[in-house]
Amino acid sequence: VARTFSKIYGMAGLRCGYAVAQSQAIAQLRSHQSWDSVNIMAVAAATASLSDPDQVTNGRRLNQETRTFVTTQLDAMDYKYIPSQANFVMIDVKRPVLPLIKALKERNVEVGRLFPALPTHMRLTIGKKAEMEAFLSAFHQVLA
């Protein structure tokens, strides 16, 4: 089993993870391990999060609440999205997505990468409520 601290732990930029497996599998993984690819701050943050028994429960609850807030706003704006239980939502913006991504970036709002198979969909990572409010405000502006 391999896990990252990216999603439910909220540490995507730290690029830190772990693996639990039988000793033979771990030995094979070690041959590909890069010891200098994770900085000490990432290790400290990951270690601290593992020692908090409520981290995952609280993270999951906050993600669900904020995702519901965002999707409720999208419903009110009549924008469709792919139903999600994850930390992101794929929104059908009803037009080519690249100009919208650029317009949001000009307003200091970063959204996910392009998905060529879904040229009118934008990947929105669920963040803190204030970040999602900033996204929704900018989204309203660029689509007006």
Mean pLDDT by 10 residues, the chain (144 residues): 82 84 92 80 90 89 95 97 93 95 96 91 94 97 90
Q: How far apart, in whole angstroms, are the C-alpha atoms of residue 84 and residue 63? A: 11
pLDDT at 39: 85
Closest by CA position to 124, among listed 99, 93, 96, 78: 93
Spell out the domains of the chain, with CATH numbers in brackets: 2-52 (no CATH), 56-143 (3.90.1150.10)
Spell 29-39 as b/e; 16+ CB within 10 A means b. Answer: eeeeeeeeeee
Q: Is 5 helix (H, G, I), strand (E, B) or coil?
A: coil
pTM above 0.85, yes or no: no
Q: How far apart, in whole angstroms, are the C-alpha atoms of residue 116 and residue 8? A: 26
Name the strand (E) or helix (H) holding 112: none
- SS3 string, 68-105, reads HHHHHHHHHCCCCEECCCCCEEEEECCCCHHHHHHHHH
Do 19 and 1 form a contact (C-beta atoms < 8 A)?
yes
